[in-house]
Amino acid sequence: MVGRSSSSVMKAVGALVVLILGTAGCAAEQKNTTEAKWISLFNGKDLKGWTPKFTGSDLGVNYRDTFRVVDGLLTVSYDQWDKFNGEFGHLFYKDSFSHYRLRAEYRFIGQQIPDGPGWAFRNNGLMLHCQPPATIGKDQQFPVSIEVQLLGGADTGERSTANLCTPGTNVVMNGQLVTQHCNNSKSKTYRGDQWVTVELEVHGDRLIRHIIDGQVVLEYTEPQLDENDADAQKRLKAGAPLLLGEGYISIQAETAPTQFRKIELLPLAE
């Protein structure tokens, strides 16, 4: 009886171990299959999933064929423009996001269009937490959003990239509300037509980080609507919350020819 009992116990223990290992294996497999993966927002072929909006034009009008794909690169081109008269453009991705990492590779090419503002020399931007494109006024210049300002350097002088600009918004830095429209990052200057990789870490309305070369060059909290801005006031009257916890992503056309060869997003858990 003792021997049979010991054998039964050993069999039971063995079955339990198999069950535990099997359960752990299934859990690991499930975790691997549900783990978030990078999503390519640009397919390298066309502008599928993206919608343009230019000042003075209706949503969906690609004014002067400014946004296009050239040799597999998402390109902001001004070769069909004669001059600039305030027609700022934005290209919106179809989905809204809240918690994510966004990674893009960009470069500036060619010459700025004549009559472009001086501040827009080698200037583009990744707009985060944008208002829905359909709510943007026909003559509105910029979406209410948080702008990660992308800048290229001149031949001389320092000019950081991955700065912060705030069309219709404010943020908090070091516990203080920042109402200054643009704030510089700690990045170095990138000159010429070299490719630059920028990464953004976005945690809803809690925290946003700007990252260049793997280093955090700027961070802030509580992105929010500017109650003194006319476009932001329209959003508030329409029922939008003060804090910006989610929104659309767009890239700019501000008179500087620009190319993107990669735009990808990694969803994050809230």
Question: What is the tens place of the pLDDT at every residue in 75-109?
Answer: 999 999 999 999 999 999 999 999 999 999 999 99
pLDDT digits (tens, 9 = 90+) for 45-86: 999 999 999 999 999 999 999 999 999 999 999 999 999 999
Residue 134 phi, psi (nearest 5): -65, -15
pLDDT digits (tens, 9 = 90+) for 179-197: 999 999 999 999 999 999 9
- Residue 117's pLDDT is 96
Number of domains in the chain: 2
Q: Rounded to an integer, what distance in angstroms lies between the CA atom of residue 175 and that of residue 180?
A: 15
Q: Rounded to an integer, what distance in angstroms lies between the CA atom of residue 102 and that of residue 99?
A: 10
Element (H, E) at 24: helix 2-34
Specify whether the backbone of 71 is left (phi greater than 0), alpha (psi in -120 to 50) or beta. Answer: left
Q: Are residues 121 and 159 in the same domain?
A: yes
Q: Are residues 7 and 120 in the same domain?
A: no
Q: Are residues 13 and 75 in the same domain?
A: no
Task: For residue 155, give the CATH number of its domain.
Answer: 2.60.120.560
Q: Are residues 31 and 164 in the same domain?
A: no
Q: Are residues 87 and 209 in the same domain?
A: yes
Q: Are residues 139 and 209 in the same domain?
A: yes
User: Residue 26 pLDDT > 80, yes or no?
Assistant: no
Q: Rounded to an integer, what distance in angstroms lies between the CA atom of residue 7 and that of residue 137?
A: 79
Q: Are residues 12 and 86 in the same domain?
A: no
Q: What is the β-pairing status of strands 169-173 and 215-225? A: antiparallel
Q: Rounded to an integer, what distance in angstroms lies between the CA atom of residue 187 and that of residue 179?
A: 21
Largest distance between two CA atoms of the chain = 99
User: Residue 30 pLDDT > 90, yes or no?
Assistant: no
Residue 34's pLDDT band, with cuts at 50, 70 and 90, is: low
Q: Are residues 31 and 50 in the same domain?
A: no
Considering the chain, what percentage of its residues have pLDDT values greater than 90?
86
**If you average pLDDT over residues 22-26, what whole number do you get?**
48
Q: Are residues 174 and 254 in the same domain?
A: yes
Domain coverage including residue 20: 1-35
Residue 76 phi, psi (nearest 5): -100, 105
Burial of 84 (0-12, 13-18, 19+ CB in 10 A): middle
**Spatial contact of 150 and 123, defined as CB atoms under 8 Å apart:** yes
Residue 35's pLDDT band, with cuts at 50, 70 and 90, is: confident
**Spatial contact of 118 and 245, defined as CB atoms under 8 Å apart:** no
Q: Are residues 26 and 103 in the same domain?
A: no
Q: Are residues 92 and 143 in the same domain?
A: yes
Residue 20's pLDDT band, with cuts at 50, 70 and 90, is: very low
Q: Are residues 110 and 2 in the same domain?
A: no
